[in-house]
Amino acid sequence: MQDQIEKDTVIRIRRALLAWYGRNARVLPWRGTRDPYAIWVAEIMLQQTRIDQGTPYFERFIKAFPTVEALAEASEDAVLKLWEGLGYYSRARNLHRAAKLVAFERGGAFPATAAEWQALPGVGRYTAGAIASIAFNEVAPVLDGNVKRVLSRLFDIAAPIDRPATERQLWALAETLVAPRRPGDFNQAMMELGATVCVPKAPSCGTCPVRRWCRAAERGTQAERPVKGKKAAVPHYEIVVAAIEKNGRFLLGKRPPNGLLGGLWEFPGGKVQTAESHAEALEREIREELGVAIRVGGLAAVVNHAYSHFKVTLNVYRCAIKSGAPQPKTHTALKWVPRAHFDRYAFPKANHKFLGAL
């Protein structure tokens, strides 16, 4: 990939970007430190999360778990409760698992290289490169959404960036550009440029420190980059939810640790099948999940929610058990919880939308 850009140009891009970063870097709570724990937590949190949304979560998380040992010793429920609302909960579960490995199996010693970081749960090539370069000054590249956008414009890449071949090309370019003396600052500068200047729509090319080397700006194609493949239509599911109440308490189930929303507490229910009424679907779902027969009462709430790859409409019904004793057939645990104690449990964001109706 070195043949696509002259060595002198590489040096000039590095210098310009690092100088710009020195003047324009935002003050963020995980910057200005080489603490691998804080950098690791921040990088995991900021996957699929905007900085303005993730910053208060980071501050609360570090306050609650100031060291990797504190995180390792915490319960999964406590970790998920602090993560509640950020989504992509596998990040929190993997971070918790990895903290236990570092604290208990490595004696609190963090990996020092990108290759070693990738051996931890939930740490891929991007995250490993970010931590190793920022905390340990390893010359390792990074490639997140912001960096992909910067590189696709800088080199005017017309191929869809979600193709494996294009991703390999982008990684090679990132590796060519990363500054050998200040790799952590350079990687953060690339990410900062994509977040604040080389933004998805209407990039501020007039203030871009690397505009003179940007092929897309030269050719006027910056609005067309990056190119992405066509997305499939987003499916929509009709969901029924049972707010089963007894003596002022509601029945909650804990989702299995793996899969979507793993480890969170929820109200039982599921998808409505073809030709089923809501009541029929709810009776079937509760029979399958809890092994009980229920009486379906009035509709308490209807809420819409969008996940990354599908959308749902939740139809929440007040219910009561007609016969049988609830058993956790699909959940790992069941609890009867009073409304006043809901704030002690980590719920999916969609559930939060109807708690007030109960």
Model confidence over 55-90: pLDDT tens digits?
999 999 999 999 999 999 999 999 999 999 998 899
The pLDDT tens digits for 249-262 are 999 999 998 888 99
Instruction: Find out whether the peptide bond into 348 is cis, omega within 30 degrees of 0.
Output: no
Residue type, 107: G
List, for residues 120-173, the tens digit of each pLDDT value: 999 999 999 999 999 999 999 999 999 999 999 999 999 999 999 999 999 999
Q: What percent of the chain has pLDDT over 90?
A: 92
Active site residues: 43
Among 296, 173, 123, 153, smallest CA distance to 217 is for 153
pLDDT tens profile 302-351: 999 998 889 999 999 999 999 999 999 999 999 999 999 999 999 999 99
With a threshold of 0.95, does the pTM exceed it?
no
Looking at residue 260, its pLDDT comes to 86
Burial of residue 231 (number of CB atoms within 10 Å: 0-12, 13-18, 19+)? exposed
Q: What crossing angle do the helices spanning 51-64 and 76-83 adopt, rounded to 10°?
A: 150
Higher-confidence residue of 48 and 268: namely 268
Q: Considering the chain, what is the average pLDDT of its residues?
A: 95
Count helices and strands (H / E) in the chain: 14, 7
Decide if pLDDT at 4 tops 80: no
pLDDT over 80 at 1, yes or no: no
Q: Which domains does the chain have, with CATH numbers?
A: 2-224 (1.10.340.30), 236-355 (3.90.79.10)
Distance of CA 245 to the CA centre of its chain: 33
